[in-house]
Amino acid sequence: MSGPKVVRIVTREEIIALCEGHLRRLEQAVVRWETEADRLGQLTEQERTATRARQERLRALLAQDAMRELQKAVPIEIEHLQRDLLAREERAVLKAAAQRQQQRRLQENASLLLKALASRPDTPQEVLQALTQLANGAALANGEQLLAQGFAQLSSGTEPQPLGQEQRELAQRLKGDAPAVDLEQWLAANAQATRDPRLQQIDRHIAELQLLQGEACAEPFVQALARAEAQIQVQQRNLLLDSLVIELASGTRDFQQRRDTLAKLQGLASELQTHAAEGHETLLAQVGQCTTASSLAELDELTGRCEAILTAHVHAQAALARRQAMLQGLAQLGYEVREGMTTAWAESGKVVLRKPSTPGYGVELGGKADNGRLQVRAVALSADRDKQRDQDIETIWCSEFARLQALLQDGGGELLIERALGVGEVPLKEVGEVYDEQAASVARQRTL
């Protein structure tokens, strides 16, 4: 198949740029993982060292020209870091939720003991004051110890004893070996019915808010929960709890979506800062002001703008690298490559190269190169020629094309045939001499 061809070219520069983009995203993922895990108090120095060591091994693949391995391994490592961070956050949230539930149990149990001790005038005031603090929601480090003291006071309290000595002895014999009731058993016997399962959901959401967004964001919901629990009317209490569950769940989803979008936006802005910051300073400043409190619409809009700019930049750089790689390869095969041909090709969509050893013939390169697809074919530079040579020229071009593929492959790129016609299937295209002067004309215009 030595006639006109549609080919796809991938240059070494393009592959390196892709790998460097992977490594930049990996660096951002590692920094975010370290920062958040450290903030949660769940990062050891051994874990930090191991993660950085894996990152360096992946970075070394670029210097080793192991580009395919790098492109496969880096996304896997990024996904691992994301999953690991989510698992750490989940553990931290569950721990914080368990602490809230423990505090709730202390508060309820203190209220129970206060009611039981109300009829005991001999109870020390310091015990009653401590239990009152617990019942009012104070977080005391010795809460369990205070409950035990209150129960001990309840168990040891003396009441008027109207029975005589013989009656007391009889009652003691009848009691026999019945086990003494401990604090846990007493609380279980006197506690309210099974707790509302909605409270567990609410505690988890509030713990997540406090951990990931801060106390200020969680405080309105903490107050709303207190109002709901203080509500005496069951129907009104249920309405308040249902509303709180829905609002917290919705807020959690929105926050996670905003946080993920912000992380993506910051990654894009970092790439934009590195490669195409000129002329986009205002956009980068807007991104720098964004937080997880920013609206999702704003984050999406800025993300779209950054993606469009980066996509255009990447395509332009890749197209330039493709044109240069093709021209350099043909120059090595003996074709004349003049100054300005790269620009002429970009502006006109095609360029013709001549070869001194085959006068009257050349090779035409066409296509914008933006998507990697090009058209290549042997062409005649004049209608006044021996047309019997046309098929010989196409055959020569066949061997040269194979050499061009080898040259690009040696340089780390690829030149793949997507569609091709056989020798002589279509007449050789005549381009005339106009293309010979095209590159020189463009060069002169650039100089002026």
pLDDT in tens, the chain (448 residues): 456 777 777 788 888 888 988 898 899 899 999 999 999 988 999 999 999 999 999 999 999 989 889 999 999 999 999 999 999 999 999 999 988 888 888 877 787 777 777 777 777 777 777 778 777 777 777 777 777 777 777 666 544 445 456 555 544 544 445 455 566 666 665 555 446 788 889 999 999 999 888 888 999 999 999 898 888 898 999 999 999 999 999 999 999 999 999 989 988 888 888 777 778 889 999 999 999 889 999 999 999 999 999 888 888 888 888 888 888 899 999 999 888 888 888 888 888 999 888 888 889 988 876 667 788 888 888 888 888 888 888 888 888 888 998 988 888 888 888 888 877 788 888 887 554 445 444 444 443 3
The DSSP-derived string for 132-183 is HHHHTT---TTHHHHHHHHHHHHHH------S-HHHHHHHHHHHTTPPPP-H
| pLDDT the model gives residue 202 | 92
DSSP H or E stretch at residue 430: strand 429-430
The rounded distance, in Å, linking the Cα atoms of 395 and 439 is: 27
Smallest CA-to-CA distance from 216 within 206, 226, 225 is with 206
Does residue 127 contact residue 150 with C-beta atoms inside 8 Å?
A: yes
pLDDT at 250: 92
Per-residue confidence (pLDDT) for residue 185, from 0 to 100: 64
Tell me how far the alpha carbon of residue 41 is from its chain's centroid. Answer: 21
Query: Which of 140, 158, 102 is CA-nearest to residue 126?
Result: 140
Q: Are 313 and 276 in contact (CB under 8 A)?
A: yes
Note whether 428 and 393 are within 8 A (CB).
Answer: yes
**Is the separation of the CB atoms in 323 and 316 below 8 Å?**
no
Residue that is written with structure tokens 């009848």 in the block: 174
Contact 11, 325 (CB under 8 A): yes
117, 135, 183, 296, 301 from 129: Cα distances, Å: 12, 10, 19, 49, 57
Q: Are 395 and 1 in contact (CB under 8 A)?
A: no
Q: What pLDDT was estimated at residue 412?
A: 80
Which residues, other chains included, contact 419 with Cβ-Cβ below 8 Å and sequence gap of 6+?
5, 6
Distances (CA, A) of 202 to 248, 250, 251, 257: 7, 12, 12, 20
Q: Where are the beta strands (DSSP E) in 264-420?
A: 350-354, 361-366, 373-380, 414-420
Write down the pLDDT at residue 302. 94
> What's the CA gap between 305 and 300, in Å, rounded?
9
What residue spans define the domains of the chain?
333-447
Residue 419 carries which DSSP code? E
pTM: 0.69
Both structure tokens of 326: 């093709």
Q: Is 442 exposed, middle or buried (0-12, 13-18, 19+ CB in 10 A)?
A: buried
